Structure 1
Amino acid sequence: MEMLELDGSQGGGQLLRSALSLSLCTGIGFTLQDIRAKRSKPGLMRQHLTAVNAAAKVGGANVIGAELGATSLRFEPGTIRSGDYEFSTGSAGSCTLVLQTVLPALWSADATSRVRLQGGTHNPLAPCADFLAESFVPRLRDFGIEVDLELESPGFYPAGGGVLHATVHPARELRACAFESRGELERIDGTALLSALSSDIGLRELAVLQARFDLGEDARHLRQVRPPRGPGNALILRVRHAAHTTTFTGFGQRGTSAETVAARVANEAQTYLDSGACIDEYLGDQLLLPMALAGGGSLTTTAPSDHLRSNAALIEKFLPVEITWEQQDAGTWRVTVKS
């Protein structure tokens, strides 16, 4: 089996998750040294270990070093297997990142798979379930990938306890895609999601968004999680264009006012609106892998983030593609994948 030697100090958990996905899809094994070496707590944390074990189960892999705190890992992929799976981070660690790790393998399988994930669904350091459902999954559909998501219950840090269901259908052949034009602006709306917190917090957040984007009453939504699983607050702003919906999320935290949380989300959305980009910087990074597996494509984004650059370098180690980025204007970059 072909094996790659990877330096884990050059990235965080994302490098590990991308390596797992690519290994399952290409059949190339890897060893990863100095995992998360530059982080305050190096090595595998619980959500990283969950991703490793999930990838091993889906791909029939042989793994050495899958332990909490481990700083090196050897992963030898086997045969991808469809089926019914259940994965839990055992904490508020992001279950959406675990799902993204195994998705490429599952859409490469020969039959439909169903996955139940438990943990954090709304985590400040990961794409939330709403982002996956409204921004990520619709773009996967353009590649010919069908994924159905159902959020049974939200889970916030630190309590966790959220449940997300995914049904992943096999994709016979991926289509190359170009995401370069977002089309006309159709609608902007916001949702304040609260668990075990006063509705006043959400109303104040929505008032800031209303003032910034002139949101009508039917574009402002307040949701209380029932039953609550510990305190939590996520503010979700959707910017809907004809060709793409971009989702921006902010999270309430102790010592930060509702107005500050909302202003940060509004500023991020305004930066996107002022650009000519189709895809925001976070989604741009996440679309690289299906684009590379499809053999090519392009997108415009607000900036090539550090995650995108490191992810591109890793993808080029596993797949015969070249990924480049070129600035188009002050707020727009074009990212191109060529085989």
Structure 2
Amino acid sequence: MSDHEASTSDSPIRLDGTTLEGGGQLLRLALSISSLTHIPIHVTDIRGKRGKVSSPGSAGGLKPAHLAGVEWLANATAAKAEGMEVKSKDLVFRPSTTGSETATDGSQNESAGVWKDVYQDGKIVRRESRIAMATPGAITLVLQAILPYLLFSSSASVSDQNETVPLRITIEGGTNVTNSPSIEYVTHVLLPLLSLKLGISPISTTLHKRGWSTGKNEVGSVTFEATPSFPGSTVPALSFQNRGELSKVHVSILVPGATARRIIRDKVTAQLLAYYPDIEILFPVDEDSRSDKRLYLLLVAEISNGYRLGCDWLFDMKSQGSTMEQKCEKLVSRVVKDLKRELKHEGCVDEYMQDQLVVFQALAAGKAHVDGGKGRESTLHTKTARWVAEQVLGVKFDELGQCEGVGFVVGEDFKKRRINEEEDAVKAMADVKV
């Protein structure tokens, strides 16, 4: 019996945390899917490839930022979990199909442990929650773990007169963190694309304070507001094809001082217009980072049919002896070069977006097409995400990165559906033999 077949019993699906990329993404995606489907998982050797070379055995396991997402999802789904502590390298996660949290009125409510209902004129107008990290762990990675649950779990929504109540969640941590999506990337690339392709209401972001991993560590705060899908609805099959023509580039600048920001604006404008003379250049973010160690640039290519491709860099080079102008030149040169490479591939998504769409492909009702571009192999993060989806949901990705989704229905007992499907398959085989 395969690990996937074992999932229909009480035995959790076992996932080796050292597979492929072997980092935190494997854990986040497994938790996302498990929380929605109630399929139990057992992740071993969590982040097992971290520190293997420089310091074997010292850097793996759950960090506080990972634990924040695990604990929130465990409370939201009334899960029975083992291994929920910092540095844990082994996690068993069993979401409840009925919920065991007790609401303030004494009723059983699966999500009573994370949500506070806000009333107006005796009617619930929204639900609020908070995830707090004491260090600048990436807010966006926590969001990555919980977003599918926010959008597609009926337990996260309250239906009233055929409406779903908006969810407002505030996450404290890092907004601009090395090797993680920035809040700008999520706001200007990921969330607009999801709204466009999933047919959901726009997900809003409110930045209260920036949190940085460069310079002096600072903890920031962001509030996200999303409207969950109505119970009984399905996840539409994504279609990222026929990219279209470049029309605009949105430029987000976070560097110290007015002079450095002017240098960035001038150099970005000159280099972009040299290659794409007919585009419109916009500057949605032009902000003083207040530290010589904090330089960040994001370029977002907006395509005529609504697609967005992002390239960015949180400057992390050793720059002793370099002037601020020299650092700005390096920053602009690298990000513009990356954007040109992305556009040359003619794909509908950038290399950072591919892996973030896998969960939505796997849950979709129908075959999901995501054109990642010509002559480019899928990233290791993308291969890892597809492997997790295949192990937990049983979907199969082809050589083009397409898959037939499971047709997840908001509010269904997916685990029960899977058990029934496999029992029917066994019965059909037995009938054939007879």
Q: Considering the TM-score relative to the shorter chain, is it more than 0.5?
A: yes
Residues 252 and 258 in structure 1, CA contact (< 8 A), matched pair in contact too: no
CA distance in 2, matches of 1:222, 1:279: 22
Structure showing greater radius of gyration is: 2
CA deviation after TM superposition for structure 1 residue 117, in Å: 0.6
2:399 alignment partner in structure 1: 325
CA distance in 2, matches of 1:48, 1:204: 37
Residues 150 and 164 in structure 1, CA contact (< 8 A), matched pair in contact too: yes
2:190 alignment partner in structure 1: 136
2:338 alignment partner in structure 1: 268
Q: Counterpart of 2:247 in 1: which secondary structure?
A: strand
2:129 alignment partner in structure 1: 85
1:1-339 paired onto structure 2 within 5 Å? 1-10=10-19, 11-40=22-51, 41-78=59-96, 79=99, 81=111, 83-110=127-154, 111=157, 112-141=166-195, 142-146=197-201, 147-158=203-214, 159-172=217-230, 173=233, 174-194=235-255, 197-214=256-273, 219-220=282-283, 223-225=286-288, 232-242=294-304, 243-253=306-316, 255-256=318-319, 257-295=327-365, 296-302=367-373, 303=376, 304-326=378-400, 335-339=401-405
CA distance in 2, matches of 1:222, 1:148: 16
TM-score normalised by structure 2 residue count: 0.71
2:55 alignment partner in structure 1: none
- Residues 53, 229 of structure 1: CA spacing in aligned structure 2 closer, same or farther, 3 A cutoff? farther
- The CA deviation string for residues 203-262 of structure 1, in whole angstroms up to 9 with x for no partner, is 333333223212899635662359x59953221112111221222211123634221122
Q: Counterpart of 2:225 in 1: which secondary structure?
A: strand
CA distance in 2, matches of 1:122, 1:238: 16
Residue type of the alignment partner of 1:31: H
2:411 alignment partner in structure 1: none
CA distance in 2, matches of 1:286, 1:222: 24
Structure with greater strand percent: 1
CA distance in 2, matches of 1:31, 1:217: 49
CA distance in 1, matches of 2:241, 2:286: 33
CA distance in 1, matches of 2:174, 2:295: 13
Supply the RMSD in Å over aligned alpha carbons: 2.3
TM-score normalised by structure 1 residue count: 0.89
Name whichever of 305-314 and 116-125 sits farther off. Answer: 116-125
Residues 144 and 171 in structure 1, CA contact (< 8 A), matched pair in contact too: no
CA distance in 2, matches of 1:48, 1:220: 33
Q: How many matched pairs? A: 328
Residues 297 and 336 in structure 1, CA contact (< 8 A), matched pair in contact too: yes
Q: Counterpart of 1:325 in 2: which secondary structure?
A: coil
CA deviation after TM superposition for structure 1 residue 276, in Å: 1.5
CA deviation after TM superposition for structure 1 residue 186, in Å: 0.8
CA distance in 1, matches of 2:226, 2:291: 27
CA distance in 1, matches of 2:42, 2:241: 36
Identity over aligned pairs, percent: 26
Residues 212 and 266 in structure 1, CA contact (< 8 A), matched pair in contact too: yes
Residues 8 and 37 in structure 1, CA contact (< 8 A), matched pair in contact too: yes
Structure 2 unmatched ranges of 5 or more: 1-9, 52-58, 100-109, 116-126, 158-165, 320-326, 406-434
Residues 191 and 222 in structure 1, CA contact (< 8 A), matched pair in contact too: yes
CA deviation after TM superposition for structure 1 residue 124, in Å: 2.4
Residues 316 and 322 in structure 1, CA contact (< 8 A), matched pair in contact too: yes
Residues 184 and 252 in structure 2, CA contact (< 8 A), matched pair in contact too: no
- Residues 238, 323 of structure 1: CA spacing in aligned structure 2 closer, same or farther, 3 A cutoff? same
- The CA deviation string for residues 165-199 of structure 1, in whole angstroms up to 9 with x for no partner, is 111212132211210122221112322113xx333
CA distance in 1, matches of 2:60, 2:343: 37
1:331 alignment partner in structure 2: none
